[in-house]
Structure 1
Amino acid sequence: MTDKPIRVGFIGLNPGIHWAATAHIPALKALPDEFVVVGVANTSLASATKAAEAFGLPHAFENAQALVNSPEVDLVVVTVKVPHHRELVAAALNAGKHVYCEWPLGNGLAEARELADLAEAKGVVAAIGTQMRVAPELEYLRQLIADGYVGEVLSTTLVASGGPWGGGETDAAHAYLYDKSNGATLLTIPVGHTLAGMRDVLGGFGDLSARMINRRNTMYVTDTGETIPSTAHDQILVHGALESGAAFSIHYRGGISRGTNLLWEINGTEGDIQVTGAHGHGQIVQLSIRGANGDTSALAPLTPPASAYEGWPDNSVARNVARVYALIGQDIRSGTRSAPSFRDAVALHETVDAIERSAAAKEPK
């Protein structure tokens, strides 16, 4: 690979408030020497042309296959709905392209394993968007735990609000979130992202027990006036033991609370840490850390060094995504595998699958 910028093609890029436009484009603008966005493929050529014009891109591809086949594209970024990940990621891998796919990797564990196997067979960089793992606050927290700030970890508890799934209403663009068969649920998205971060800090999950409850069986679609069924659970409860033996407990609820929206506590033999945020999407929210150890009784702020933020976007959404891209760039240029990988995604899918299986066993027959 030369020192020229890595050429990025998006499958699923639209102007406005869409995720790729609000997170990926600002992230890539923060790395102008490493990446250049060259094209887009959407559901139609007209949509791709509109996006290319909006973002000043040289190429609007007729379809996804044309994009992955193009010699002008080095890295394919997949930012579409989960049910389409398998087909589009596989097409990019089969074309020999590096891939950055949003989490979840597949609609279920089997698809994730298939894509990870294919990526390894092709020998390309295949990164998954579990960007909470590279947040400066998470890296700092991981170091605090590794350095023994709390001593031996005894337990960890997390309660958080996941947003849409408990609100009672939605718009047509997001109605697919409420059909659990689409694989884009409270469990797979905010819980999944946060599980990735917890795993990085505290190690893997051992035995677990879960319940998933659906308290809102319908959703009102505001822009169409219809009421649709909701099969996606809006209460996720998981407890068990980490591989280290420490106890863990997690409760995610849909909607936004007037009280606590993200509180993650880590309790140890020598100290305690609290991580808080404005909502439970740990991958994008600005996290704050407080702690106390030894003879200190009151929690005090624990802040990453200023150098951890230098050169990165001010906004936590774009900053965390940019930090994933920086690792991808390093991997493509140097042959390393430092970015969150498809194999990492499989391990996370396995935990999600274990939660689903445990909860299903407790549902009334």
Structure 2
Amino acid sequence: MKEKIRIGFIGLNPKGQWASTAHLPALELLKDDFEITGVANTSYESAKIAAEAFKIPYAFENADALIHSEHIDLVVVTVKVPYHFELVKAALEAGKHVYCEHPLGNGLQESIQLAELAASKGVVAVTGLQMTVSPEVRYLEQLISEGYVGKVLSTTLIGSGGHWRDETISENYYLYDKKNGATMLTIPLAHTLAGVTKVLGGFKEFSSNIINHFKTVTLQDTGHVKDKTADDQIMIIGTLENDVAISVHYRGGISKGTNLLWEINGTKGDLQITGALGHGQLTPLTIKGASEAEKEMITLMPPPELYDSLPADPVSGNIARIYKLLALDIRNNTRTAPTFADGVELYRLLDSIDS
């Protein structure tokens, strides 16, 4: 019987935050591969509450104690972006495997340093680019490679970020301060571009334009008005490596129309991918297509085998797919899950868009 990989969470709160709503359901599906043995939060008291709520054996006084514990093989970092660098760096230096949510670091330089350190330590270091492992993206790769649309000529992407207009709540205000590294560019657009480039290839050349319409944001729960520095309109136009024309427009807030519309147009057909939100990593994606003599688009479902016997739900399902690959990488010393190097490549693109 294979030994389970022992996980230590940094940033696990029972009050419905990302780790508890997304990671825990994913890991529940992979009990043969993983067990959660430890948790560390901003306070020892918070860690003890989480450990009791989720029946985790060890509550650690601080992150450093968790990182250096003999009971932890894999450190999972699910805190806010400004804290990623120091926590991930400490875990890597301790020789632990790491799963860090995207964005890997707060900016390109932090991401590069972490990727270089991970490579030097020879550990498995994974970043949470969930859309790249989704059944829909894998199916789109298959359709393109099989010539469903013929030669790809162009692609267009329009998305709504959900946040980044002129109202929010205090808990989410950090998203509106650009220096925190958790913006519309680095979260919904970044995740979705990771999926787009996985299917169609990376950028060859482009120009971009970024606008911040709203200079302040009202906190609905307190009535306070605070500065807003994160942008709410992002436009990109250019070509991908294979000379595919690409146009991208992301906007803050929610549209009364389509909130995710991605089209791929070729010499023999067309594909249209839609979702309820511009977070391609979070929203269920509907694929429609028409090829050759077909006059109208039909819904195309990914083959069952692309789901890897895991749920279609993009939140827990895609995170479970990353964990499944991560387990294989740890056991086989492979690199099939999205790596820190992948995170750096994406951040180079983001850095260029915002330059």
Deviation at 1:325, TM superposition (A): 0.3
Deviation at 1:184, TM superposition (A): 0.3
1:222 matched to which residue of 2? Answer: 220
- Percent of pairs with identical residues: 58
Residue 165 of structure 1 aligns to a residue in which SS? Answer: coil
Matched letter for residue 190 of structure 1: P
Matched letter for residue 161 of structure 2: G
CA RMSD between the two structures: 1.0
Following the alignment from structure 2 to structure 1, what is the Cα–Cα distance between the partners of residues 223 and 69? 42
Following the alignment from structure 2 to structure 1, what is the Cα–Cα distance between the partners of residues 324 and 308? 14
Deviation at 1:223, TM superposition (A): 2.2
Matched letter for residue 19 of structure 1: W
1:160 and 2:155 matched: no
Deviation at 1:297, TM superposition (A): 1.4
1:11 matched to which residue of 2? Answer: 10
1:112 matched to which residue of 2? Answer: 111
2:20 matched to which residue of 1? Answer: 21
Count residues in correspondence: 355
Deviation at 1:305, TM superposition (A): 1.5
1:145 matched to which residue of 2? Answer: 144
Residues 220-246 of structure 1: CA deviation (Å, up to 9, x unaligned): 112222111100001111110101111
Residues 171-211 of structure 1: CA deviation (Å, up to 9, x unaligned): 11111111101100000000000111011100011111111
1:173 matched to which residue of 2? Answer: 171
Q: How does 1:290-329 map to 2 (within 5 A)?
A: 290-309=288-307, 311-329=309-327
Following the alignment from structure 2 to structure 1, what is the Cα–Cα distance between the partners of residues 239 and 299? 28
Deviation at 1:310, TM superposition (A): 5.9
TM-score, normalisation: structure 1:
0.96
Contact 2:160/2:259 (<8 A) preserved: yes
Following the alignment from structure 1 to structure 2, what is the Cα–Cα distance between the partners of residues 41 and 5? 20
1:340 matched to which residue of 2? Answer: 338
Contact 1:52/1:58 (<8 A) preserved: yes
Residue 247 of structure 2 aligns to a residue in which SS? Answer: strand
Following the alignment from structure 1 to structure 2, what is the Cα–Cα distance between the partners of residues 310 and 109? 33
Matched letter for residue 174 of structure 1: N
2:37 matched to which residue of 1? Answer: 38
Contact 1:30/1:313 (<8 A) preserved: no
Matched letter for residue 319 of structure 2: V
Contact 1:289/1:301 (<8 A) preserved: yes
Following the alignment from structure 1 to structure 2, what is the Cα–Cα distance between the partners of residues 54 and 268? 52
2:67 matched to which residue of 1? Answer: 68
Residues 27-63 of structure 1: CA deviation (Å, up to 9, x unaligned): 0001010001111111000111111111110111111
Q: How does 1:201-350 map to 2 (within 5 A)?
A: 201-309=199-307, 311-350=309-348
Contact 1:48/1:60 (<8 A) preserved: yes
Matched letter for residue 184 of structure 1: A
Residue 278 of structure 2 aligns to a residue in which SS? Answer: coil
Deviation at 1:213, TM superposition (A): 0.6
1:96 matched to which residue of 2? Answer: 95
Following the alignment from structure 1 to structure 2, what is the Cα–Cα distance between the partners of residues 320 and 165? 25
Matched letter for residue 178 of structure 1: Y
Following the alignment from structure 1 to structure 2, what is the Cα–Cα distance between the partners of residues 353 and 308? 32
Contact 2:138/2:306 (<8 A) preserved: no
Residue 39 of structure 1 aligns to a residue in which SS? Answer: strand
Residue 210 of structure 2 aligns to a residue in which SS? Answer: strand
Following the alignment from structure 1 to structure 2, what is the Cα–Cα distance between the partners of residues 130 and 315? 15
Matched letter for residue 220 of structure 1: T
Residue 72 of structure 1 aligns to a residue in which SS? Answer: coil
Deviation at 1:260, TM superposition (A): 1.1
Residue 351 of structure 1 aligns to a residue in which SS? Answer: helix
Contact 2:6/2:71 (<8 A) preserved: yes
Residue 25 of structure 2 aligns to a residue in which SS? Answer: helix
Residue 164 of structure 1 aligns to a residue in which SS? Answer: coil
Stretches of structure 1 lacking an aligned partner (at least 5 in a row): 358-365
Q: How does 1:42-61 map to 2 (within 5 A)?
A: 42-61=41-60
> Which stretch of the first structure deviates more once superposed, 230-239 or 219-228?
219-228
Following the alignment from structure 2 to structure 1, what is the Cα–Cα distance between the partners of residues 206 and 258? 24
TM-score, normalisation: structure 2:
0.98
1:362 matched to which residue of 2? Answer: none
Residue 198 of structure 1 aligns to a residue in which SS? Answer: helix
Stretches of structure 2 lacking an aligned partner (at least 5 in a row): none
Deviation at 1:170, TM superposition (A): 1.3
Contact 1:27/1:313 (<8 A) preserved: no
Following the alignment from structure 1 to structure 2, what is the Cα–Cα distance between the partners of residues 290 and 179? 37
Matched letter for residue 179 of structure 1: D
Deviation at 1:215, TM superposition (A): 1.1
Contact 1:190/1:282 (<8 A) preserved: yes
